[in-house]
Amino acid sequence: MVKLSVIVPFYNVRTYAPETLKSLHANTRDDFEFLFVDDCSSDGTLHILEQAERELPGAVLLRHEKNGGLATARNTGLDAARGKYITFLDGDDWVAPGYFSRLLASMEALGCDFVRTDHVQFTDKARTIHRVPVGKRGRVLRPRDSILPADRSTSVDYAYAWAGMYHRRLVDQGLLHFTDGLRTAEDRPWIWKLHREAESFAVLGLLGVFYRRGVASSLTQIGDVRQLDFIRAFDQVLAETAEDADADQLLPKAVRTYCAVMAHHLDSIERFEPAVARKLRSLSGAALKRMPSDILAETLDALGVHRAGLLRRVRRRAISRTTEVAA
């Protein structure tokens, strides 16, 4: 029986894949499987993965015929996974020796739906520990209790899929798949759904996953149209949260997070190509118009002068265009 499925999407990470694969070699067990999803790489990554499939115990290579993005690649892995437990790793990150066994032992002892872990961010030669923003460690908690408060960083803001482990029953309940085709912010609707609908989780102080920040090919470093998928992602968060029984309590948090991410992109708009920058302003203005006006007003008052100013300008522009069209 397969105890753990490790899903690892790869796309044009030839430089980093060998280190990722080496770390998986130091995590093998007879009851572990490693699902490599090649998302139509064109830089030689596939050749490295073909060799790894032959050499790494439990490795299975899955190939996309066309590039689908990280969300779609993770879903391919989920559809093929046989393990009782599931975790993720990105193709340019790595884990410490024996990390998955330690994580699995902790999760089995707790018996919850999923666990979240701290991680180490690696930028050039600098390493920084990032903590799950939940104070209680090693205790089973109710996920929706960790969504609020709206004005502080909480568990739904720590959206990294690879910073944790998940019981198969979440797959069976339809809670672990990602929104197909999202190119960025794919983990935002996912983490919100987990916290709204799963029954139990825990936070561990276990360090062992290393997140590589600043990779040139990463979407966080590229100012192209795919970055704008954050609009689709957060629209989904708002729509699904609005249907929740506790919508009145949860929507202010969802709106505030959406606005904060939008302001971040608007504040660095010069990194986008001109056509994409115009689209960012247009989509942002339209999104702000769709938000509940009372919650948005309170959010803008609380965000601070600079960020609120960025959002109010694109909102006014969107309202002006609508008025001109109506006239």
Whether 198 and 238 map to the same domain: the answer is: no
Last residue of a domain, one of 161, 190, 220: 220
Tell me which residue has tokens 């707790």.
Answer: 110
Q: Which domain holds residue 129?
A: 4-220
Written in H, E and C, the secondary structure of 177-220 is: CCCCCCCCCCHHHHHHHHHHHCCCEEEECCCCEEEECCCCCCHH
User: In this structure, what CATH number is given to the domain that contains residue 155?
Assistant: 3.90.550.10
d(CA 208, CA 100): 8
Examine the domain organization and report whether 260 and 169 are in the same domain: no
- Residue segments in the chain with a per-residue pLDDT below the cut of 70: 215-223, 320-327
170 and 228 belong to one structural domain: no
Do 29 and 166 lie in a common domain?
yes
The predicted structure's pLDDT at residue 322 = 60
Q: Give Dmax over CA atoms of the chain in angstroms.
A: 70
Question: 142 and 231: one domain?
Answer: no
SS3 163: coil
Same domain, 60 and 130: yes
**Boundary-marking domain end, from 220, 241, 267:** 220
Together in a domain, 180 and 270: no
Question: Strand order of the sheet with strand 209-212?
Answer: 94-95, 209-212, 119-123, 126-130
Quick one: 124 exposed, middle or buried, by C-beta within 10 A (0-12, 13-18, 19+)?
exposed
Together in a domain, 88 and 211: yes
Same domain membership, residue 197 and residue 84 = yes
Please give the Cα distance from 6 to 280 (Å, whole number).
Answer: 35
Q: Which tokens sit at 118?
A: 């701290």
Instruction: State the sign of the Cα–Cα–Cα–Cα dihedral 283, 150, 120, 207.
Output: negative
Name the amino acid, one letter, at 197.
Answer: E
Distance, in Å, from the CA atom of 101 to the CA atom of 28, rounded to the nearest integer, reads 9
Q: Which of the listed residues 220, 237, 264 is the one where a domain comes to its end?
A: 220
Name residue 7's beta-bridge partners. Answer: 35, 88
- Do residues 252 and 215 share a domain? no
pLDDT of amino acid 223:
62
Record the pTM.
0.93
177 and 305 in a single domain? The answer is no
List the beta strands (DSSP E) in the chain.
4-10, 32-38, 59-63, 85-88, 94-95, 114-117, 119-123, 126-130, 164-167, 201-204, 209-212
Q: What total number of domains does the chain contain?
A: 2
Q: Are residues 210 and 254 in the same domain?
A: no
| Number of DSSP helices (H) and strands (E) in the chain, helices first | 11, 11
